[in-house]
Amino acid sequence: MTLDQAQKQVDQWIKTIGVRYFNELTNLGILVEEVGELSRIMVRKFGEQSFKESDKKTDLADEMADVLWVLLCLANQTGVNLTEAFQKNMEKKTLRDANRHRDNEKLQ
């Protein structure tokens, strides 16, 4: 599935099942909440914190998909084509960082 297809699928779901989009600020708050849930799993799985009993049934992939879902909603609401935005962002990073990471002694 492409980003464009994902944006369209989310939009169709919102219009047929979700009734309407939450407003942009509400979705921004939801995005922050979802990133927090992803962070909670990451620090327990890869960091020093141990899992709480309530965390053991969480799914890392599902939490990442929740973040993506809300980001797709925000893109749809604000008229951002994520395919184009991502391509431009990759070009920017490629030009800006052509040697930056290779020359970083911390990464050697």
User: What pLDDT score does 102 carry?
Assistant: 87
For the chain, the structural domain boundaries read 3-82
Per-residue pLDDT 10s for the chain (108 aa) are 999 999 999 999 999 999 999 999 999 999 999 999 999 999 999 999 998 888 888 999 999 999 999 999 999 999 999 999 999 999 999 999 888 888 898 988
Using the structure block, give the residue that is written with the tokens 């939009």.
11
Token look-up 């890869």 returns 46
pLDDT (0 to 100) of residue 52: 87
Instruction: Give the separation between CA 74 and CA 21, rounded to whole angstroms.
Output: 9
Name the H helices within the chain.
3-16, 24-45, 60-78, 82-96
Angle, helix 60-78 to helix 3-16, in steps of 10 degrees = 80
Whether the full predicted model's pTM is greater than 0.85, yes or no, is yes
- For residue 89, what pLDDT is reported? 98
CATH class of 3-82: mainly alpha
Using CA atoms, how far residue 72 sits from 11, 23, 34, 63, in Å, is 9, 13, 13, 14
